[in-house]
Structure 1
Amino acid sequence: MRPAVRDEFESLYFDYPHFEAPDRPAVEPLRPVAVVGAGPVGMIAALTLAHHGVRSVLLDDKATFNDGSRAICISRSSYHILDSLGLTQPCLEKSLGWTTGRSFYRGQQILEFAMPDGPNEKFRPMYNLQQQYIEQFLWNAVADSDLIEARWQSKVVGLVDDGSSVRLAITDPSGRYELPAKWVIAADGARSAIRKSCGLRLKGENYEGRYVIADVQMRHDFPTIRRALFDPASRPGGTVLIHRQPDDIWRIDYQLRDDESAEDAVREENVRAAVSRVLRDIDYDGDWDLEWWSVYSANTLLLDDYRKGRVFFAGDSAHIVPIFGVRGLNNGIADGHNIGWKLAAVLKGSAEDALLDSYTPERRGATLDVFANASKSTRFMTPPSHGWRVMRDAALSLALTRESAGRLANPRQMTPYTYADSPATGPDDPGISRGPVPGAMLQDVALDSGFLSDRLGRGFTLLVFGNGPKPEKAGLAVVALPATWAAADIYGAGDGTAYLIRPDLHIAARWRRATEEGIRQCMNTILAREEEIV
């Protein structure tokens, strides 16, 4: 929602483009992949496919980007994904990096936490950037790609999966038509039309706590940190979250009381009054303007299976996660990247279809891990019952005098999930005592020039230390490092140690002393093929 004096997409700081529906061919050819939903997750999926040389058609029923800040926090792991696709530069130039969070109870600070950071990290733990900019920067890359055909104002209203392809029924301003594709990635959001057409529904818990999101523009010199206010004067008994964003935009999330209706809470005059009280809480008495606002509740919902036939679900079409710990967008970006490289491998002939069976256990497993952590944060931020509230408030009161109690207010920020039990994860070697285990995300390391992540190939990469094997014609890139470098110590490596790294930057397998035959066998197992495909 926007103030009454402005139009629907009239922003204080962002110019929303308008996309026309494209001209269509008289006969639609069979597409390798149709991606439904041109939000961040859908565009990441399409860009990942293009990165690996696979064409796709990208469909969205809107005529512009999503409005409002929505998802604003991009994690280090997501920046590594963006970097692997060559997409970080505009994001880094615009976003605000941060490492620190502070929590306050009744105006007194009870916690300051710092996320892990250091000279071996190419990116900061977290960056704040409004979702419009994320979509704009991704869209610029989509528009520049010869392998992605984008169709705006194109609404999917049904589908038929015949086992060998999917026929999407689509309506646009010119009428209704059908588009056939070998595979479909559904990234069409929480109200997914694809999910509905497949007869599926999300399952899980709905939390009672409701929040208003309000974006305000103001010049304020407070640093870029995450602030949480518990039981502040502005919202007695409630919780307020505050994030700084580019263009002097500040995101304020404030909890509604049980006796406040959402309908009344989102009236402009009530939003302005609530924001004014919050700003007084942080000792700001300068000018400000209201940009945009919305309302949401915290839910933990997901599909039983992220695949149905030839359709894969990613992002909010597959799961809804609480915002606490900034996991929603970051989880979705990992979804799109994961299914993107796997579909590309199958379509390019380097892997068999069975590789796709690893998508649900990996990404649904990641969602369940998110739930386990985010639910703890949600119960603390938004107590689901009187008993939870009593315990939460008792902990907060104790935190005024005991530092250890303040740690309960830590939101447990998003961390990459480890695919330990995935069929696309190979063996571990008990002879390696340090370093990322198979299934974990790559640990970046500063090298003599740049970072380890800068040297990875587009597909699988073999990281070799010392005189380890450097197999030729194995369908992978090789990065060789001396066993005497500091990177070897971080990876617990000796002469001959090797790590196999997947295209999504997760460790596939590792060996204390690797052999070419062991590497080839592992590649064949992960890619579900009987013998090496050269």
Structure 2
Amino acid sequence: MSAGFKPYPFEAKQYAARLPELEGDGSSAREAQRHAVTIVGGGPVGLAIALGLAKHGVRSVLIEADESVCYGSRAICISRRSLEIIERLGALDGFLAKGLPWTGGRSFYRNDEVLHFTMPQDENQKLPPMVNLAQYHIEQFLLDAAERHADLIDIRWRTKVTALQDDAHGATLTLSSPAGDYTAQTDWLVAADGGRSTVRDALGLKLQGTSYEGRYVIVDILLDSARPTERLAYFDPASNPGSTVLVHKQPDNVWRIDYQLRDGEDADEAIKPENVMPRVQSLLDMMGEKASWSPVWITIYKANALTLERYRHGRVLFAGDAAHLVPIFGVRGANSGIDDADNLAWKLAYVVKGLASDALLDSYSDERVYAAHENLSYGTKSTEFMAPPSFAFDLMRTAVLSLAREHAAVRSLINPRQTSAIAYTASPLNAASDAFANGPAPGMVLPECPLTIVDQAGASVGHVTDLIAPCFTAFYFSEDGATPAPIAALETTLAARALPFALVPLAQRQSADAPRRSGWDHTGRLFPMYDAQPGTLYLVRPDGHALGRWHGDAGTVAAHALAALDHALCA
């Protein structure tokens, strides 16, 4: 074991500050061009929003205080839902090539295994339930995709917001960089600048909720081990008596270790290498890991369950940690931020392009505040189990762990409840729909299923999520892919309104006359999964959530779809 730190097996490219075209000079210097959208914060959420806007052809300026992607593992677990979003943003390849997929994990109480959980994974899925990938890789792969859209994404590195004035028309930012200071104006401002949000502070907004006293030391180490990738949790282990330890394997032989500090331990002392390294060594000894290792990063973490009451404040919109802080247990932090980005990008793009009323952005706040409360509810339960906030919680946890050794019925109480897609079942956008026995109700994401996709290149096996484009999509189910005139007319009607829309026929059987972009249910599982029959139509939002669904007469179904779009866009 080396006594010193080693650098990460990853070297981030560093970027210099630059100035745009300015008018005036000195303290009165201002950017000549007013922007439609300015994003503050170049982490995963800010980059995902910029990429989402670019997919809709909307230009943005992204302000980032640092000179490169982040340092340290930080967020490390990316969910299937986030991977679906990242694929639509054009950045998935790096995530799958570098990331370590996993499907479950194990929990131990002292020396005994008390839980072995697995996440949903079956033959219908295209992507793994979870991928381990350090945040610096996450940011780099998103940045690589953003650089491929340099005409639509203007990244301003080493630039800080020092003052902010907002009004009914947008915001004026005072920006500082080593290359010079200036002001810039924007129609819409997106705050994705993290838990210590400068924008949030400038507007005098406060996060509401609970901050927990329990603290965790987070350590990244280099360790060459053949141990499989899974979530490992140790309760009251010999290496950290009375507390908990979490262990995750990452790419490049980096291992993430989180261990709870005991009551009364001094945080500043706890993160000194001479105090961290004996604990890590004790843990590795307990795990049976014999290889040499070295630390590469140490920090401290305190669980928070906090959110803003609203994520839209006039022309300022909040996303990610600037909007909410979710405990790390259940990996909802970065994943909820990526979901924020997916929800916000298409709505903001439609407003900027004049395709929707700005009231559409209120639904962003409604849906994502609801999602935050769902995530906080699960995150709070996990936090209270992982780091009991009182003697009563500690007593309950000890009882559960003790019983779980022999009684499988209580083991579900140990389950970390990993993040899953949020269903916006009470969304104001949801359309009145017909009764279905199963399938995605309005507000839910589409369940995955393989199908044969027919397009100009021919036929190939794909999945339902491959057919979600940066537009509204109508999936029309029929026997052979044929679409009645009222359904086919949807494309003409919406094209006349310049509304991005795709009609995708889905057939029960293969047809030689399949339309140019359609699907064929070659497994026979798609139609039952969606409770579909010939004449069924699902209308899907650009973020993959169902907007409405109907059976029956083609003219009536088409009229329902048009009414649902008008309602959603406040046209």
Tell me the SS of whatever aligns to 1:353. coil
Could you tell me which amino acid in structure 2 is paired with residue 462 of structure 1? Answer: A
Q: 2:129 aligns with which of 118, 122, 125?
A: 125
Q: 2:22 aligns with which of 26, 29, 39?
A: 26
Q: 1:209 aligns with which of 214, 227, 237?
A: 214
Q: 2:138 aligns with which of 128, 134, 148?
A: 134
Contact 2:3–2:294 (CA<8 Å) still a contact in 1?
no
Contact 2:244–2:386 (CA<8 Å) still a contact in 1?
yes
Task: Tell me the residue number matched to 2:90.
Answer: 86
Q: 2:502 aligns with which of 469, 472, 477?
A: 477
Task: Tell me the residue number matched to 2:458.
Answer: none
Matched, 1:445 2:449: yes
Tell me the SS of whatever aligns to 1:464. strand
Segment of structure 1 superposing worse, 334-343 or 52-61? 334-343
Contact 1:34–1:184 (CA<8 Å) still a contact in 2?
yes
- Using the TM superposition, give the Cα deviation of residue 34 of structure 1 relative to its aligned residue in structure 2, in angstroms: 0.1
Q: Distance in 1 between matches of 2:445 and 2:22?
A: 45
Task: Tell me the residue number matched to 2:540.
Answer: 501
Contact 1:483–1:493 (CA<8 Å) still a contact in 2?
no
Matched, 1:111 2:120: no
Could you tell me which amino acid in structure 2 is paired with residue 516 of structure 1? Answer: A
Per-residue CA deviations over 1:264-309 (Å, capped at 9, x if unaligned) read: 1100111111111111121112211111111001110111111111
Q: 1:510 aligns with which of 549, 553, 558?
A: 549
Task: Tell me the residue number matched to 1:461.
Answer: 473
Tell me the SS of whatever aligns to 1:160. strand
- Using the TM superposition, give the Cα deviation of residue 5 of structure 1 relative to its aligned residue in structure 2, in angstroms: 5.3
Tell me the SS of whatever aligns to 1:295. strand
Could you tell me which amino acid in structure 2 is paired with residue 205 of structure 1? Answer: T
Matched, 1:383 2:388: yes
Instruction: Report how many aligned residue pairs link the two structures.
Output: 523
Segment of structure 1 superposing worse, 461-470 or 201-210? 461-470
Task: Tell me the residue number matched to 1:420.
Answer: 425
Segment of structure 1 superposing worse, 468-477 or 192-201? 468-477
Contact 2:307–2:325 (CA<8 Å) still a contact in 1?
yes
- Using the TM superposition, give the Cα deviation of residue 416 of structure 1 relative to its aligned residue in structure 2, in angstroms: 1.1
Tell me the SS of whatever aligns to 2:22. coil
Task: Tell me the residue number matched to 2:404.
Answer: 399
- Using the TM superposition, give the Cα deviation of residue 162 of structure 1 relative to its aligned residue in structure 2, in angstroms: 2.1
TM-score of the pair, normalised by structure 2: 0.90
Contact 1:456–1:479 (CA<8 Å) still a contact in 2?
no
Tell me the SS of whatever aligns to 1:300. strand
Could you tell me which amino acid in structure 1 is paired with residue 9 of structure 2? Answer: Y
- Using the TM superposition, give the Cα deviation of residue 346 of structure 1 relative to its aligned residue in structure 2, in angstroms: 0.8
- Stretches of structure 1 lacking an aligned partner (at least 5 in a row): 530-534
Task: Tell me the residue number matched to 1:346.
Answer: 351
Task: Tell me the residue number matched to 1:532.
Answer: none
- Report the CA distance shift for 1:107/1:5 in structure 2 as closer, same or farther (over 3 A): closer
Counterparts of 1:268-417 in structure 2, within 5 Å, are: 268-417=273-422
Contact 1:34–1:183 (CA<8 Å) still a contact in 2?
yes
Could you tell me which amino acid in structure 1 is paired with residue 506 of structure 2? Answer: L
Q: Distance in 2 between matches of 1:62 and 1:349?
A: 34
Tell me the SS of whatever aligns to 2:195. coil
RMSD (CA atoms): 1.4
- Using the TM superposition, give the Cα deviation of residue 160 of structure 1 relative to its aligned residue in structure 2, in angstroms: 1.2
- Stretches of structure 2 lacking an aligned partner (at least 5 in a row): 24-30, 453-460, 510-520
Moved over 4 A (4+): 3-6
Tell me the SS of whatever aligns to 1:325. coil
Q: Distance in 1 between matches of 2:418 and 2:426?
A: 23
Matched, 1:229 2:234: yes
Tell me the SS of whatever aligns to 1:503. coil
Name which one, 1 or 2, has greater alpha-carbon Rg. Answer: 2
Q: Distance in 1 between matches of 2:170 and 2:390?
A: 48
- Using the TM superposition, give the Cα deviation of residue 174 of structure 1 relative to its aligned residue in structure 2, in angstroms: 2.9
- Using the TM superposition, give the Cα deviation of residue 217 of structure 1 relative to its aligned residue in structure 2, in angstroms: 0.8
Q: Distance in 1 between matches of 2:468 and 2:412?
A: 37
Q: Distance in 2 between matches of 1:141 and 1:23?
A: 23
TM-score of the pair, normalised by structure 1: 0.96
Q: 1:72 aligns with which of 70, 76, 88?
A: 76
Per-residue CA deviations over 1:411-438 (Å, capped at 9, x if unaligned) read: 00101111111122222321x1111111
Matched, 1:198 2:203: yes
Tell me the SS of whatever aligns to 2:475. strand
Task: Tell me the residue number matched to 2:13.
Answer: 17
Q: 2:181 aligns with which of 165, 176, 181?
A: 176
Segment of structure 1 superposing worse, 12-21 or 311-320? 12-21
Task: Tell me the residue number matched to 1:490.
Answer: 529
Per-residue CA deviations over 1:22-48 (Å, capped at 9, x if unaligned) read: 132123211010000000000000000
Q: Distance in 2 between matches of 1:105 and 1:165?
A: 54
Could you tell me which amino acid in structure 1 is paired with residue 477 of structure 2? Answer: F
Contact 1:306–1:312 (CA<8 Å) still a contact in 2?
yes
Q: Distance in 2 between matches of 1:218 and 1:4?
A: 14
Q: Distance in 1 between matches of 2:334 and 2:469?
A: 25
Q: Distance in 2 between matches of 1:40 and 1:311?
A: 19
Could you tell me which amino acid in structure 1 is paired with residue 74 of structure 2? Answer: R
Tell me the SS of whatever aligns to 1:450. strand
Segment of structure 1 superposing worse, 291-300 or 156-165? 156-165
Contact 2:4–2:295 (CA<8 Å) still a contact in 1?
no
Matched, 1:46 2:88: no
Q: Percent identity between the aligned chains?
A: 45
Q: Distance in 2 between matches of 1:472 and 1:143?
A: 33
Contact 2:170–2:316 (CA<8 Å) still a contact in 1?
no
Tell me the SS of whatever aligns to 1:199. coil
Per-residue CA deviations over 1:313-333 (Å, capped at 9, x if unaligned) read: 000000000000000000000
Tell me the SS of whatever aligns to 1:335. helix
- Using the TM superposition, give the Cα deviation of residue 483 of structure 1 relative to its aligned residue in structure 2, in angstroms: 4.1
Could you tell me which amino acid in structure 2 is paired with residue 84 of structure 1? Answer: R
Tell me the SS of whatever aligns to 2:249. strand
Matched, 1:185 2:224: no
Per-residue CA deviations over 1:184-216 (Å, capped at 9, x if unaligned) read: 100000000000101101111011111011111
Tell me the SS of whatever aligns to 2:441. coil
Tell me the SS of whatever aligns to 2:252. coil
Contact 2:539–2:548 (CA<8 Å) still a contact in 1?
yes
Per-residue CA deviations over 1:37-70 (Å, capped at 9, x if unaligned) read: 0000000000000010000000011111211000
- Using the TM superposition, give the Cα deviation of residue 175 of structure 1 relative to its aligned residue in structure 2, in angstroms: 3.0
Task: Tell me the residue number matched to 1:264.
Answer: 269
Q: Distance in 2 between matches of 1:107 and 1:4?
A: 29
Q: Distance in 2 between matches of 1:53 and 1:137?
A: 20
Segment of structure 1 superposing worse, 464-473 or 111-120? 464-473
Task: Tell me the residue number matched to 1:522.
Answer: 564
Q: Distance in 2 between matches of 1:174 and 1:224?
A: 45
Contact 1:425–1:438 (CA<8 Å) still a contact in 2?
yes
Segment of structure 1 superposing worse, 260-269 or 24-33? 24-33
Tell me the SS of whatever aligns to 1:257. coil
Q: 2:102 aligns with which of 75, 98, 104?
A: 98
Q: Distance in 1 between matches of 2:52 and 2:8?
A: 32
Could you tell me which amino acid in structure 1 is paired with residue 139 of structure 2? Answer: E
